[in-house]
Structure 1
Amino acid sequence: MNPDQLPDNPYLLLTPGPLSTTKTVKAAMLRDWCTWDADYNRLVQSVRHDLVSLAGALDTHTAVLMQGSGTFCVEATVTTAIPPTGKLLVLANGAYGRRIVDIARRCGIDHRVIDSGELAPPDTQRVDTVLAADPAITHVAVVHCETTTGMLNPAAEIARIVKAHRRIFILDAMSSFGGVPLDVASMGVDYLISSANKCIQGVPGFGFVIARREILEHTRGQARSLSLDLFDQWQTMETHPGKWRFTSPTHVVRAFAQALGELAVEGGIPARHKRYGDNQRILVAGMRDLGFAPLLPAALQSPIITAFHSPDRPTWDFKRFYAALKEKGFVIYPGKVTQCETFRIGNIGDVQAGDMHRLLEAMAAVLHEIGIE
Structure 2
Amino acid sequence: MTASVPPLPAAAVGQPVLMNPGPVVLDDRVRAALAGPDLCHREPEFSDLLTRIRHKTTLVAGGGPAHTSVLLTGSGTSAVEAAIASAVPADGGLLVLDNGHYGERFAHIAAAHGIRAHRLELGWGTPLDTDLIERALAADPGLTHVGVVHHETSTGMLNDVAAVARIAHAHGREVIVDAVSSVGAERIAPAEDGVDWLAGSANKCLEGAPGLAFVTATRAAFEALAGRPRRTYYLDLHRHYTAQEKGLPAFTPGIPACYAFEAALDLALAEGREARHARYAALAGQLRAGLEALGLELLLPPAQRAVGLTALRLPASAGYEELHRRLRAAGFVIYRAQERLAADHWRLSTMGRMTSADIDRFLAALADILRDS
Q: 1:351 aligns with which of 354, 357, 371?
A: 354
Q: Which ranges of 4 or more aligned residues in structure 1 deviate by more than 6 Å?
A: none
Q: 1:237 aligns with which of 238, 244, 262?
A: 244
Q: Distance in 1 between matches of 2:61 and 2:77?
A: 20
- Structure 1 pair 307/337, CA: closer, same or farther in 2 (3 Å)? farther
Correspondence for 1:329? 331
Following superposition, the deviation at residue 214 of structure 1 comes to: 1.6
Q: 1:13 aligns with which of 13, 18, 31?
A: 18
**What TM-score, normalized by structure 1, do the two folds share?**
0.94
Q: More deviation in 188-197 or 52-61?
A: 52-61
Q: Distance in 2 between matches of 1:281 and 1:145?
A: 17
Q: Distance in 2 between matches of 1:81 and 1:60?
A: 18
Correspondence for 2:5? none
Question: Is residue 282 of structure 1 aligned with residue 286 of structure 2?
Answer: yes
- Give the aligned CA root-mean-square deviation in angstroms: 1.7
Following superposition, the deviation at residue 263 of structure 1 comes to: 1.5
User: Deviations for 1:149-183, whole angstroms, at most 9, x for unmatched residues?
Assistant: 00001111111111111101111101000011212
Q: More deviation in 48-57 or 298-307?
A: 48-57
Which residue identity does 1:247 align to in structure 2? T
The correspondence of residues 104-183 of structure 1 with structure 2, limited to 5 A, is 104-183=110-189
Whether the aligned pair in 1 keeps the contact of 2:181 and 2:205 (CA below 8 Å) is: yes
Correspondence for 1:28? 33
User: Deviations for 1:177-215, whole angstroms, at most 9, x for unmatched residues?
Assistant: 001121211211110001111111001111000012222
- Structure 1 pair 70/56, CA: closer, same or farther in 2 (3 Å)? closer
Correspondence for 2:210? 204
Q: Distance in 1 between matches of 2:47 and 2:31?
A: 20
Which residue identity does 2:242 align to in structure 1? Q
Q: Distance in 1 between matches of 2:249 and 2:347?
A: 36
Q: 1:225 aligns with which of 222, 225, 232?
A: 232
User: Deviations for 1:109-155, whole angstroms, at most 9, x for unmatched residues?
Assistant: 01101111002122111101111221111000100000000000111
SS at match of 1:311: coil
Following superposition, the deviation at residue 85 of structure 1 comes to: 0.4
Which residue identity does 1:349 align to in structure 2? G
**What stretches of structure 1 of length at least 5 have no aligned partner?**
none
Correspondence for 1:309? 313
Which residue identity does 1:91 align to in structure 2? L
Whether the aligned pair in 2 keeps the contact of 1:263 and 1:269 (CA below 8 Å) is: yes
Question: Is residue 271 of structure 1 aligned with residue 275 of structure 2?
Answer: yes
Q: Distance in 2 between matches of 1:329 and 1:35?
A: 38
Q: Distance in 2 between matches of 1:201 and 1:54?
A: 12
Q: Distance in 2 between matches of 1:364 and 1:23?
A: 30
Whether the aligned pair in 2 keeps the contact of 1:115 and 1:122 (CA below 8 Å) is: no
The correspondence of residues 24-63 of structure 1 with structure 2, limited to 5 A, is 24-31=29-36, 32-63=38-69
Q: Distance in 2 between matches of 1:106 and 1:56?
A: 30
Q: Distance in 2 between matches of 1:194 and 1:55?
A: 8
Which residue identity does 2:352 align to in structure 1? G
Q: 2:298 aligns with which of 279, 294, 298?
A: 294
Q: Distance in 2 between matches of 1:56 and 1:68?
A: 22
**What TM-score, normalized by structure 2, do the two folds share?**
0.94
Following superposition, the deviation at residue 7 of structure 1 comes to: 7.9
Q: Distance in 1 between matches of 2:109 and 2:239?
A: 20
- Identity among equivalent positions (%) equals 38
SS at match of 1:194: strand
Q: 1:318 aligns with which of 299, 317, 320?
A: 320
Correspondence for 2:199? 193
Following superposition, the deviation at residue 64 of structure 1 comes to: 0.4
Q: More deviation in 69-78 or 141-150?
A: 69-78
The total of aligned residue pairs comes to 362
Q: Distance in 1 between matches of 2:12 and 2:24?
A: 16
